[in-house]
Amino acid sequence: MTPVPALARTIAARAARIPGVVAVALGGSHARGTARPDSDLDLGLFYRADLPFDLGALNALCRDLDDSGAASATPPGGWGPWVDGGAWLTVEGQRVDFIYRELGRLAQSVEDALAGRVTLHAQPGHPHGIHGHHYAAELAWGVPLHDPSGHLARLRARLGGYPVSLAQALETHYGWQPDFWLDAAEKGLKRGDRHYAQGCVYQAVMALVQTLCARERAWLLNEKGAVALAGALPGVPPDFAVRVNAALATLDLPGLRALSAEVTQGRPDGGSPNIG
């Protein structure tokens, strides 16, 4: 079991006393066991849209906890439609992020994952975007610190593990995309549009990452560390992360095409997306 930092438990206990906060969970790298010394503590604050939490009380807590005494929280939706809002604090020298999560949307995310629905939504701070099953992925990895009503426990039980339907849908959705994006990047470079080509190359890499993670049923929380996560999975092309990073640095399209071919060859059926 992932060890929970004592500071996370202390802050979670105080946040749990805010009216309207239904549950608190540890997320991010600390929940996954991949935190570095400089990693933030990510604490999800769960609430219900029909019974919103007391923003004034949360702001008072932020000021009391923050080393500078100046931190404040956004209203729900303050950071965009999917990263629902929150606050950035420094507590005893440790960076701490409060991140809101609405329980109704979490429940829908679980249903989307179980049904294998792949939807992608624009969100500031996430160049690839946020998938509809993103909250379910967080739930699968998160460590509940306060869940007196059992909301998180019930939804986690409903989710089970990584749904086969989601793995199949993601590989079908992304498996053909790398070469498409690389073709578009090549056209962009030929006309001198390096900015467009860079965007296409990034999307090609993310399609490779999504395909590999789906194949191994590895939850992908977001783009941060995504290449390293995919590169550590069993059965991926040799030196995947090293080769991706080198190709990104120089826009090496032939190198990425070679990687794409190796990913395709690694499919159970030898080529077609895994749809059954």
Judged by average pLDDT, the poorest of 32-36, 121-125, 216-220 is: 32-36
Domain 6-157 has CATH 3.30.460.10: yes
Mean pLDDT across 12-38: 93
Residue 132 has pLDDT above 60, yes or no: yes
Q: What residues does CATH 1.20.120 cover in the chain?
A: 164-265
Q: What is the pLDDT of residue 269?
A: 53
Q: Give residue 269's Cα distance to chain centre.
A: 28
> Please, what is the average pLDDT of the chain?
94
Q: What is the pLDDT of residue 267?
A: 65
Which one is predicted more confidently, 81 or 117?
A: 117
Judged by average pLDDT, the poorest of 33-37, 135-139, 140-144, 202-206 is: 33-37
The Cα-based distances of 241 to 212, 220, 256, 267 in angstroms read: 12, 15, 11, 19
Which one is predicted more confidently, 124 or 45?
A: 45
Residue 222 has pLDDT above 50, yes or no: yes
Residue 129 sits at the vertex; the CA angle it makes with 128 and 132, to the nearest 5 degrees, is 135
- What gap in Å lies between CA 241 and CA 247, rounded to an integer? 10
Q: What residues does CATH 3.30.460.10 cover in the chain?
A: 6-157
Class of domain 164-265: mainly alpha
Residue 1 — pLDDT band, cuts 50, 70, 90?
low
Q: What is the pLDDT of residue 274?
A: 41
The Cα-based distances of 44 to 72, 172, 236, 256 in angstroms read: 16, 31, 32, 36
Residue 268 has pLDDT above 70, yes or no: no
**What is the crossing angle of helices 253-265 and 240-250, to 10°?**
150
| pTM, rounded to two decimals | 0.91
Strands (E), the chain: 23-27, 41-47, 86-91, 94-102, 120-123, 126-131, 143-146
Mean pLDDT across 89-115: 97
Q: What is the pLDDT of residue 230?
A: 97
Q: Does the CA dihedral 153-148-15-92 come out positive or negative?
A: negative
